[in-house]
Amino acid sequence: MATLRDYRVHRRAIARSRLVIWTVILLAFGWATWGTGFGVLTFVQGIGGSFAFIATDLLPPRLEAAPQFIDDAIDTLLMSYVGMVMSVVLSLPLGVLGARNTTVHRLLSYASKGTVSFIRAAPDLIFAIFLVALFGIGPLAGTVAMGISGIGILGKAYADGIEAIDMQQVEGIRAAGGTWFQVLGQGVWPQFKPTFITWSLYRLDLNIREAAVLGLVGAGGLGYALITEIRTFQYRTATTVILMIFVMILLVEFVTGILRRRVL
């Protein structure tokens, strides 16, 4: 029988492990703060400077410049869309083969997940730098960069989504004598579809954001327009571009939201 003494020992053990965890967290934070030179004082001082910069240089936006960026905006949209489709097409087989419950062989699952993790480890920017060197400045490099880097996200999301489905439903199909392909189509897909749609559309969303960053290395679209304006100190025009990116994200979120409700 457990006694009060046992209870105290048990409580003390918990307290000790908590102490260890908090010590580690605080030490890590201290080290990270020191390492990055993060100081509350410099941070607060910086805020003042930032606000001054925003108020005097970025505002008000030069809205009349908007029409000249419409083409770039459309470019960004198309790049993001093509990039998403490319990621989806490449990620689907990787997801199916990566998921433990649908893979053909355990080793293939490791290989598949490894590939996806490897791609995820490299930031889009790296892909974009290589691809700009390969294809030259322009939307193509950005599109392919987003397409490849999307595999890192979607490949994992798909595999996880497939692993989360109810295998009893799949067993029903298998017991009826379905082939591997039929089991995928009739047992796995109907359950996986909502996850598939949600994550694929989320990637489209992310692509538009990322397109802005990829502009830094000349990968076309609004991002390239943005960096050009900043380099020539046209901050108010740059603000316009930022606003356009923002509006586009809202627009895509709105449309994909409707789409999702329709399909699911």
Query: Which span (50-58, 98-106, 169-177, 220-228) binds other proteins, by CB under 8 A?
Result: 169-177
* Shortest Cβ 188–other proteins spacing (Å): 9
261 binds other proteins (CB under 8 A): no
Of 18 and 193, which has the nearer Cβ to other proteins?
193
In this chain, which of 33, 68, 117, 182 binds other proteins, going by CB under 8 A? 182
* Shortest Cβ 192–other proteins spacing (Å): 10
Nearest CA to 135 out of 146, 143, 147 is that of 143
- Residue the block writes with tokens 């000790």: 16
173 binds other proteins (CB under 8 A): yes
Nearby residues of 236 by Cβ (< 8 Å), 6 or more positions away? 57, 58, 59, 60, 61, 62, 65
* Shortest Cβ 190–other proteins spacing (Å): 4
> 59-66 — which CB contacts under 8 Å span 24+ positions?
59/236, 59/239, 60/236, 60/239, 61/236, 61/237, 61/239, 61/240, 61/243, 62/234, 62/236, 62/237, 62/239, 62/240, 63/240, 65/236, 65/237, 65/240, 66/240, 66/244
Q: What is the C-alpha separation between 237 and 245, in angstroms, rounded?
A: 13
Of 80 and 200, which has the nearer Cβ to other proteins?
200
In this chain, which of 13, 19, 171, 232 binds other proteins, going by CB under 8 A? 171
Alpha-carbon distance values, 124 to 54, 68, 136, 225 (Å): 28, 27, 16, 19
Query: Which span (116-124, 173-181, 204-212, 227-235) binds other proteins, by CB under 8 A?
Result: 173-181
In this chain, which of 174, 209, 236, 260 binds other proteins, going by CB under 8 A? 174
197 binds other proteins (CB under 8 A): no
181 binds other proteins (CB under 8 A): yes
23 binds other proteins (CB under 8 A): no
33 binds other proteins (CB under 8 A): no
Q: What are the helix (H) ranges across 55-188?
A: 70-98, 106-121, 124-135, 139-163, 167-175, 180-182
Contacts to other proteins by CB under 8 A: 166, 168-169, 171-179, 181-182, 184-187, 190-191, 193
